């Protein structure tokens, strides 16, 4: 009997959930962590057997306020008691307020906002808007240039934009018009962008490939090429936005000006939402009836997002992400100085990737789980950290000590 089997037998709720999941849920996740989350408070989660875990993955950058945050839970309860959903045939107050708030925060000129339900939907809207922008000018431009190893979503169009064939190959034929170039390769980018290009779609930091930052020169060249050719510059801030990198939006680090920004993940602290924000000129790509959504921009999700943004301001969480992230990265780099299993520590703010010198990432993740720490892994060699932005620096030394112990044990096996 494996350790996981023993744990399941000791937790009848977990055993039952796994049995139901195996029988009824679509087999898309390959769950290997024997944990069923029951509740959370702050940066801590508790499973059905009563074990507590420091959440260092934050729902993959979603739970920016941690768990059961009073401001967020109160806003959700208050709005649910009033109205959860109404059709977009009608106005609703939280939607209008959130659109105005995001337009101001985006930094884009006279910005227009479209609210959806996920990051994939936000990117789907951005792709449609960029093509619509040229269509309504009487031009036909379909080519969208994105980077290899990127991740932009799992719809057919966003999986096609994603520069990893494992997300799209099983679903061919794919929508045409997507071209992928090597990330941070200026020559390849310059060769790909021309007057037939509709848009360039890039991440400031590629999260799903292992926290790979873009060179500022690469993003600046992308902006320059878009201005020269008229193509729209789309910056995917779905994982990097909401203060994750120590700025509200990661593009602010490199002093570029996108035409379209997409957001999701942490925007409503766990309530599903996505946002596409475009400057006034680019927003002319949508005319009435060109796009829409049933659930996007509903009062519940928008009230949650407004509460999150209020807490960001009152608690200065963007600055906390910068400070805490810098300290955590320094501690991890000091650890790397005497731990040969760490090859590189990279990232910004509280978006951190630790690349290992051996393919032990999954084993390390499982060992940290057993020690009471939830982390992510990318491939075989990268540990990914995306904790809540409320993370206190007092939590860092115990985590780093546990990480060091785990690495020593992994190296000794």
DSSP 314-368: HHTHHHHHHHHHHHHHHHHHHHHHH-TTEEEEEEETTEEEEEESSS-HHHHHHHH
Would you state the pLDDT for residue 6?
A: 47
Strand partners, 180: 146
47 is catalytic: no
Strand partners, 147: 181
Q: Could you state, in chain order, the average pLDDT of each consecutive group of 10 residues for the chain (413 residues)?
A: 49 94 93 91 97 98 98 98 98 98 96 98 98 96 97 97 95 96 98 98 97 98 98 98 98 96 98 98 97 98 98 98 98 96 97 97 96 96 98 98 94 80
Show the CA angle centred on residue 375, arms to residues 365 and 241, nearest 5°. 150
Please provide the distance, in angstroms rounded to a whole number, between the alpha carbons at the two ends of the chain. 20
What is the domain-level CATH number for residue 81? 3.40.640.10
* Host domain of residue 295: 70-315
Q: Cβ(143)–Cβ(135) under 8 Å?
A: no
Any domain includes 310: yes
- Quote the number of domains for the chain: 2
Which of these, 243, 144, 124, 236, lies nearest to 194 by C-alpha position?
Answer: 144
Residue 3 lies in a domain: no
Whether residue 57 sits in one domain with residue 149: no
**Gap between the Cα atoms of 156 and 201, Å rounded:** 16
| pLDDT at residue 4, as a whole number | 45
Q: Is residue 10 part of a domain?
A: no
Which pTM does this prediction carry?
Answer: 0.95
Determine, yes or no, domain membership for 114. yes
Residue finishing a domain among 271, 298, 315: 315
Q: Examine the domain organization and report whether 99 and 248 are in the same domain.
A: yes
151 is catalytic: yes
406 shares a domain with 263: no
Note whether 335 and 400 are within 8 A (CB). yes
pLDDT at res. 327: 98
Q: Is 7 inside any structural domain?
A: no
**Could you say which of 134, 151, 178, 399 is catalytic?**
151
Give me the pLDDT at residue 9, please.
58
| Residue 284 counted as domain residue | yes
Shared-domain flag, residues 253 and 400: no
Q: Could you tell me if 375 and 264 lie in one domain?
A: no
Predicted local confidence at residue 3, as pLDDT: 42
Let me know whether 347 and 284 are in one domain: no
Residue 18 lies in a domain: no
User: In this structure, are 333 and 283 located in the same domain?
Assistant: no
Q: Do residues 249 and 192 share a domain?
A: yes
Question: For residue 149, is it within any domain?
Answer: yes
| Residue 357 burial (C-beta neighbours within 10 Å; 0-12, 13-18, 19+) | middle
Let me know whether 61 and 113 are in one domain.
no
- HSE-up of residue 78 (Cα within 13 Å, Cβ side): 12
Which of 280, 315, 350 terminates a domain? The answer is: 315
Is 370 in contact with 404 (CB distance < 8 Å)? no
Determine which one of 11, 265, 399, 403 is catalytic.
265
For the question of residue 316 being annotated catalytic, the response is: no
Q: Which among 281, 315, 349 is the end of a domain?
A: 315
Cβ atoms within 10 Å of 34's Cβ, excluding its own: 21
State the Cα–Cα distance between residues 214 and 206, nearest whole angstrom.
8
Measuring CA to CA, which residue among 210, 244, 315, 202 is closest to residue 59? 244
CATH number of the domain within which 339 lies: 3.90.1150.10
Give 47's strand partners: 37
> Which among 236, 259, 312, 399 is annotated as catalytic?
236
Do 192 and 205 belong to one domain?
A: yes
Tell me, yes or no, whether 256 and 321 share the same domain: no
Do 327 and 210 belong to one domain? no
């Amino acid at each position: 009997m494996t350790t996981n089997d023993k744990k399941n037998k000791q937790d009848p709720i977990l055993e039952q959930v796994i049995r139901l999941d195996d029988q009824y849920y679509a087999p898309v996740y390959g769950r290997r962590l024997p944990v069923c989350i029951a509740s959370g408070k702050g940066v801590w989660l508790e499973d059905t057997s009563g074990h507590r875990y420091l959440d260092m993955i934050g729902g993959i950058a979603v739970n920016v306020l941690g768990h059961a945050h009073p401001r967020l839970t109160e806003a959700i309860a208050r709005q649910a008691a009033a109205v959860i959903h109404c059709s977009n045939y009608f106005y609703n107050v939280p939607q209008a307020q959130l659109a105005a708030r995001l337009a101001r925060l985006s930094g884009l000129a006279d910005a227009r906002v479209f609210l959806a339900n996920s990051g994939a939907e936000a990117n789907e809207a951005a792709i449609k808007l960029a093509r619509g922008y040229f269509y309504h000018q009487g031009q036909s431009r379909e080519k969208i240039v994105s980077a290899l190893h990127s991740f932009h979503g799992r719809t057919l169009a966003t999986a096609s934009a994603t520069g990893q064939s494992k997300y799209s190959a099983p679903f061919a034929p794919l929508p045409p018009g997507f071209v992928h170039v090597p990330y941070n390769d200026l020559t390849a980018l310059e060769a790909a962008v021309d007057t037939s290009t509709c848009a360039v779609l890039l991440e400031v930091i590629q999260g799903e490939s292992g926290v790979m930052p873009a060179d500022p020169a690469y993003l600046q060249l992308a902006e320059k090429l878009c201005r020269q050719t008229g193509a729209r510059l789309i910056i995917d801030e779905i994982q990097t936005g909401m203060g994750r990198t120590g700025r509200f939006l990661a593009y602010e680090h490199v002093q570029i000006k996108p035409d379209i920004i997409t957001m999701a993940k942490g925007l409503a602290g766990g309530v599903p939402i996505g946002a596409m924000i475009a400057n006034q000129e680019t927003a002319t790509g949508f005319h009435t009836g060109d796009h829409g959504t049933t659930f996007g921009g509903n009062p519940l999700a928008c009230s949650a997002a407004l509460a999150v943004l209020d807490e960001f301001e009152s608690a200065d969480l963007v600055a906390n992400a910068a400070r805490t992230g810098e300290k955590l990265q320094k501690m991890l780099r000091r650890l790397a100085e005497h731990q040969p299993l760490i090859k590189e520590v990279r990232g910004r703010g509280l978006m951190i990737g630790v690349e290992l010198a051996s393919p032990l990432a999954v084993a390390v993740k499982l060992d940290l789980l057993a020690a009471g720490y939830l982390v992510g892994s990318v491939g075989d060699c990268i540990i990914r950290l995306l904790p809540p932005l409320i993370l206190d620096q007092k939590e860092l030394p115990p985590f780093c000590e546990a990480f060091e112990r785990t690495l020593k044990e992994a190296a000794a096996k």
